[in-house]
């Protein structure tokens, strides 16, 4: 949850920083979250989180890998897009 909005994953909540730093435009729309103050009931929220969101189109789920060593962003490659290769398709 971020500012009263429930997302199915955390990437959309911070993508504005990614977009600004890398001069990209990965778009978050109203279809990517549900506002808890506008939802009619818990069932509507649960149904929303049970499905992929449009923002999922940016993620490369078929090539995702796991168990990478921890490092601060940019330590491995000087702050480039390299650390995002585990999550996002190439845009």
Interval 33-86: pLDDT, tens: 999 999 999 999 999 999 999 999 998 888 888 887 776 655 555 555 555 655
7 or 65, greater pLDDT: 7
Residue 69: the pLDDT is 75
Show the CA angle centred on residue 70, arms to residues 66 and 72, nearest 5°: 125
12 or 80, greater pLDDT: 12
1 or 8, greater pLDDT: 8
Instruction: Give domain limits for the chain.
Output: 5-86
- Residue 15, pLDDT > 70, answer yes
């Amino acid at each position: 949850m971020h500012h009263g909005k429930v997302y199915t994953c955390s990437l959309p909540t911070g993508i504005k920083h990614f977009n600004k730093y890398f001069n990209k435009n990965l778009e978050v729309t109203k279809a990517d979250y549900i506002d808890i103050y506008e939802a009619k009931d818990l069932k509507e929220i649960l149904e929303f989180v049970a499905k992929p969101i449009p923002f999922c189109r940016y993620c490369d789920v078929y090539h995702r890998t796991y168990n990478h060593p921890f490092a601060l962003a940019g330590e491995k490659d000087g702050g480039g897009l390299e650390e995002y290769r585990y999550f996002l398709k190439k845009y």
